[in-house]
Amino acid sequence: MKKKFFILDGSSLLYRAFYALPLLESGSGEFTNAIYGFSNMLIKLLHDYKPDYLVIAFDKGKKTFRTEMFAEYKGTRKPTPRELLSQIPMLRELAEAWGINFVELAGYEADDILGTMANQAVAQGFAAYVVTGDRDALQLVKPDLHVLFTKKGISELVDYDEAVFQQEYGGLDPIQLIDLKGLMGDSSDNIPGVPGVGPKTAIKLIAAYSSVEQVLLHVEEIAGNKLKENIRNNQQQAVLSKQLATICLEAPVEFKTEECEIKINGDALVRFYSRYNIRSMLRAIKPFVAMAGDNAGETVAAKEAVAMPEVKKLQSEAEGQQLYDAVKKAGQIYIMCEFAGRVPHVEVKSAALSVANELYYVAVSGENSNGMDSLFALEENTAPAAWEYVKKLLADEAVTKCLHNTKGYYHAGVELSGKLYDMELIGYLLNPASSKYDLAELANSYAPEISAPGKDAKAEELLSWQVFVMNSISKDMTDSLEQQGMHQLYWDMELPLVRVLSDMEANGIYVNRQHLKEQTAEVGETIDKLQKNIYELAGREFNINSPKQLGELLFETLGLPVIKKTKTGYSTNVEVLQQLIDKHPIIQMILDYRMWTKLKSTYLDGVGGLIDADTQRVHTTFNQTVTATGRLSSSEPNLQNIPVRKEEGKRIRQLFEPGPGYDVLVSADYSQIELRVLADMSGDESFIRAFNHEEDIHARTAAEVFDVPMEEVTPELRRKAKAVNFGIVYGISDYGLSQDLDISRAEAKSYIESYFAKCKGVKAFIDKVVADAHTKGYVETTFGRRRQLTAINSSNFNQRSLAERMAMNTPIQGTAADIIKVAMIRAGRMLAEAGLKSRILLQVHDELVLEAVEAELPKVEEILKEAMEKAVKLSVPLTIDINVGKTWAEAK
């Protein structure tokens, strides 16, 4: 039996798969329906036909020798949908993971690669199979060369040999398909053919005369004056059409068996389908992974097939010693801890561990081996002795640790040394759009076959499952981190930052309870007064917080113009109210009422309940894995959303003071860091000159955009230029700018166009960033932080436009966020090395807040300037503003 060579028409099959299936998305938002369909077909081929050799051919580009012959060739085709376009690079990844050669050739189509390689294979004694959804390939059929044609999307294949072709095409030979195309043309490829000649007529003519050329020679014999005239008048067009339809069998490619072998990389396959969350494929590829013969792939396959091993409880010092010995021998430990309590009172409640594929569980505090909670039970439980051995391992420099939530260990007073792989941080870097990085979520993305325990699972079972998942996915995730070039970002920035953040959270910030009580009472009175005035203007009482009741009052009772409606009634959001502000005095009161009630509930009532009874401080949580740009956020309470330049924000900041033993609060704030980053990344001469000469950047922009001398820039022009500057940083649209400046959309558009015309470096930079995003599907910061933009090639205008704005602002915002992270790490280290008592308490976007001892102020300011202004070298200076005060408001 002859060996079988399969060559797949990747362009055609991916297209067919895309339209055969509804849009599917990965967990991080990439479109995957075409890849899913192509994978199904590939697996079916491998299972049903068992090819000995296989390659994928793909169109290299639109320009080929055919477009040189006829410029309009394929000219009527619609642009490739962006949702499909984004999956083409993924097909290359798929081919690499399967170990299948991916062949492209400039100047030629995939058809030419198919024809050339298939014919070469037949000439060398192989049976060749062309797999495609394009009927043009049927011309290739001959002995030992079959075409497997997709039918009903890609789920069914029709095996065309000569007999099947002849039965369908009236007894013609397959090669005569090119003559048919010469006469009847092909609308899908914009091959003109002869006007008025359809398939039936073409088959009849070729059956009678055998070829286009013979038809032209015998044109006078053809019945029907109109048909005869059409053929006579389009002879050259018929010959051209035949040439366009003819597959080139001499393309510069070569069939070599060693290059056409299928070399499955089991590990890469699992990574590929895990990354794109195509779970059914992970099950379908198991037999192929097992056949691959590479150890990594077999390990993964076995890991998925084998149930979670039995969990061994550590209940004695001797068992702790045995674990210690096993870990020292292995050199690595996987650990998942259950923490209890709020900062600064966190403790480890229990832990699950994995060593050399063995699972262990230890109850550390609050329960004994039987799960009983009592003082008596703790006295008899010797598990804490085993925990001491675990702590020794975690502090051992020579032991590599794979864990989750490193910050929890620091808060619980557990010393960590050596290499630390934090799955939460790595998961965040790999997919910053997710915002959820618990082990259950990571399992969904990287090991969906590992079934999660039920809802009623005990803590012991759940924790053990999590550490088992960690063991299973850690290599894939760390490999991906390395492949995407973010390993240095992890080691140099994100991991060291955990220690800084945990110290800041433990430090907390002191709140003056008496002032809090007074402010709460005052704001309560303000709210009551506003409510009373609103009722008077309304002529009745109603629920001000109810959008329905408020809408009825404004638009029905008071008769104000309706701006926007929702499914449930009238819209009363802040944008709507702002547009009505001059229509009735009640509007401003409602806005004030909303602002004060929000501040009271969030910061006055909220902060009061979060003051720790022992420290008298609020210990906010800094979230390192929430924003897609790399910025930090804070919660419980959120201290990053206090209004900056408003009186109400100042009143909130007055509550925060230096604690006992400290004299002042220090605020160190980067000056226009994002615009400085934009200047550096764009290389724009105007921006760089302005910053290097310490000019007012907004005035300089106003002078450029509005074409006036710097000394003639008015406050109003500066305000507009400032809005444009920051609008560019945040990827604002002309509509957004028009709303910010209360101008027409056309005027806003003219400002942006003028800005780009004068700031050519910025325009060129943004254009390149967006173009690269369309090609790569992601953008990066200066430090290599990556953000996937799954909708960047979407055919949906709104989705694509939003992704393009993200492409514009992410490198700028993300780089600025990275810089302040570097500054925090440097400042924290330098303060400690100097032996100072002064310490960092808060980070609020571009600002660091410290509490300091008066005598240390000169050294603190020196350290802050060194740490922050030299965090990174840009083409413009980084500068900070330092302010000192008895409250945060004074320091701000």
And the tokens for 321? 């010693």
And the tokens for 441? 């979520």
How deeply is 875 buried, as exposed, middle or buried, from its count of CB atoms within 10 A (0-12, 13-18, 19+)? Answer: middle
Closest alpha carbon to 421 in 448, 447, 442: 442
And the tokens for 572? 């009363």
The beta-strand segments (E) located in 605-761 are 617-618, 621-623, 633-635, 656-657, 664-670
Residue 302's H or E segment, with its range, is helix 295-305
Closest alpha carbon to 789 in 797, 781, 800: 800
Helical H runs in 421-494?
423-430, 439-446, 459-483, 487-489
Closest alpha carbon to 352 in 373, 370, 334, 340: 334
Residue 231 in contact with residue 237, Cβ under 8 Å?
A: no
125 to 114, 337, 470, 632: CA distances (angstroms): 17, 62, 50, 64
DSSP per residue over 405-428, as a string? -HHHHHHTT----S-EEEHHHHHH
Confidence of residue 415 (pLDDT cuts 50, 70, 90): very high
Residue 204 in contact with residue 215, Cβ under 8 Å?
A: no
Query: What is the per-residue pLDDT across 244-270, written as a single tens digit (0 to 9) for each?
Result: 999 999 999 999 999 999 998 888 888
Q: In what order do the strands lie in the sheet with 127-132?
A: 101-104, 53-58, 4-9, 127-132, 145-151, 156-160
CA angle 541/546/549 to nearest 5° reads 55
Classify 104 as helix, strand or coil.
strand
The Cα 677–Cα 71 span in angstroms is: 45
Pairing mode of beta strands 664-670, 880-885: antiparallel
Question: Range with the lowest mean pLDDT among 94-98, 655-659, 729-733, 744-748?
Answer: 729-733
The Cα 33–Cα 22 span in angstroms is: 7
Bridge partners of residue 848, in order along the sequence: 668, 843
723 to 194, 556, 743: CA distances (angstroms): 61, 36, 12
Classify 632 as helix, strand or coil.
coil
pLDDT of amino acid 155:
66
And the tokens for 522? 């005052």
Query: What is the per-residue pLDDT across 424-435, written as a single tens digit (0 to 9) for each?
Result: 999 999 999 887
pLDDT of amino acid 330:
94
Closest alpha carbon to 640 in 474, 853, 849: 849
Q: In sequence order, which residues have a C-beta less than 8 Å from that of residue 714 and are 6 or more positions away?
A: none
Residue 170 in contact with residue 135, Cβ under 8 Å?
A: no
Confidence of residue 373 (pLDDT cuts 50, 70, 90): very low
Residue 471 in contact with residue 402, Cβ under 8 Å?
A: yes
Query: What is the per-residue pLDDT across 124-165, written as a single tens digit (0 to 9) for each?
Result: 999 999 999 999 999 999 999 999 999 866 668 899 999 999
Higher pLDDT, 357 or 859: 859
Average of per-residue pLDDT values in the chain? 89
Query: What is the per-residue pLDDT across 29-85, written as a single tens digit (0 to 9) for each?
Result: 788 999 999 999 999 899 889 999 999 999 988 888 998 888 888 888 888 888 888
Pairing mode of beta strands 145-151, 156-160: antiparallel
Residue 476 in contact with residue 271, Cβ under 8 Å?
A: yes
Confidence of residue 705 (pLDDT cuts 50, 70, 90): confident
Average pLDDT over residues 564-577: 86
Handedness of CA 192, 196, 202, 206 (dihedral sign): negative
The Cα 753–Cα 732 span in angstroms is: 13
pLDDT of amino acid 48:
87
Closest alpha carbon to 496 in 627, 429, 434, 407: 407
The Cα 750–Cα 760 span in angstroms is: 15
Residue 413 in contact with residue 398, Cβ under 8 Å?
A: no
The Cα 383–Cα 387 span in angstroms is: 6
DSSP per residue over 73-101, as a string? TTTTPPPPPHHHHTTHHHHHHHHHHHT-E
Query: What is the per-residue pLDDT across 806-858, written as a single tens digit (0 to 9) for each?
Result: 999 999 999 999 999 999 999 999 999 999 999 999 999 999 999 999 999 99
Average pLDDT over residues 683-699: 92
Which amino acid makes up residue 289? V
Please tell me the number of Cα atoms within 13 Å of 600 on its side-chain side.
18
Query: What is the per-residue pLDDT across 5-24, written as a single tens digit (0 to 9) for each?
Result: 999 999 999 999 998 888 88
Q: In sequence order, which residues have a C-beta less than 8 Å from that of residue 202 and are 6 or more positions away?
A: 179, 180, 183, 184
Please tell me the number of Cα atoms within 13 Å of 648 on its side-chain side.
20
Residue 834 in contact with residue 858, Cβ under 8 Å?
A: no
Q: In sequence order, which residues have a C-beta less than 8 Å from that of residue 678 and are 6 or more positions away?
A: 684, 687, 728, 729, 762, 765, 812
And the tokens for 165? 């072709």
Query: What is the per-residue pLDDT across 468-517, written as a single tens digit (0 to 9) for each?
Result: 999 999 998 999 999 999 999 999 999 999 999 999 999 999 999 999 99
pLDDT of amino acid 273:
87
Confidence of residue 399 (pLDDT cuts 50, 70, 90): very high
pLDDT of amino acid 371:
40
Residue 443 in contact with residue 450, Cβ under 8 Å?
A: yes
388 to 61, 379, 384: CA distances (angstroms): 63, 16, 6
Three state DSSP letters for 259-292: HHCCCCCHHHHHHHHHHCCCHHHHHHCHHHHHHH
The pLDDT > 70 percentage for the chain reads: 95
How deeply is 164 buried, as exposed, middle or buried, from its count of CB atoms within 10 A (0-12, 13-18, 19+)? Answer: middle
Q: In sequence order, which residues have a C-beta less than 8 Å from that of residue 763 and are 6 or more positions away?
A: 756, 757
Residue 397 in contact with residue 418, Cβ under 8 Å?
A: yes
Residue 879 has pLDDT above 90, yes or no: yes
The Cα 761–Cα 749 span in angstroms is: 19
Residue 154 in contact with residue 37, Cβ under 8 Å?
A: yes
Higher pLDDT, 544 or 801: 544
Task: Output DSSP code: residue 362.
Answer: E
Classify 378 as helix, strand or coil.
helix
Which amino acid makes up residue 843? Q
Helical H runs in 484-573?
487-489, 495-507, 513-538, 547-552
And the tokens for 546? 């109810």
Higher pLDDT, 672 or 279: 672
Average pLDDT over residues 758-782: 92
- What are the φ/ψ torsions at residue 590 (nearest 5 degrees)? -65, -45
Residue 273 in contact with residue 38, Cβ under 8 Å?
A: no
Greatest C-alpha distance within the chain: 111
Q: What is the end-to-end Cα distance of the chain in Å, rounded?
A: 83
The Cα 189–Cα 198 span in angstroms is: 16
Residue 354 in contact with residue 314, Cβ under 8 Å?
A: no
Average pLDDT over residues 208-230: 90
pLDDT of amino acid 297:
38
And the tokens for 59? 């169109």
The torsion of the CA quartet 62, 63, 65, 66, rounded to 10 degrees, works out to 50
Classify 136 as helix, strand or coil.
helix
Counts of helices then strands in the chain (DSSP H, E): 42, 25
CB atoms within 10 A of CB 573: 11
Average pLDDT over residues 319-335: 95
Confidence of residue 304 (pLDDT cuts 50, 70, 90): very low
pLDDT of amino acid 666:
98
pLDDT of amino acid 367:
45
CB atoms within 10 A of CB 661: 8
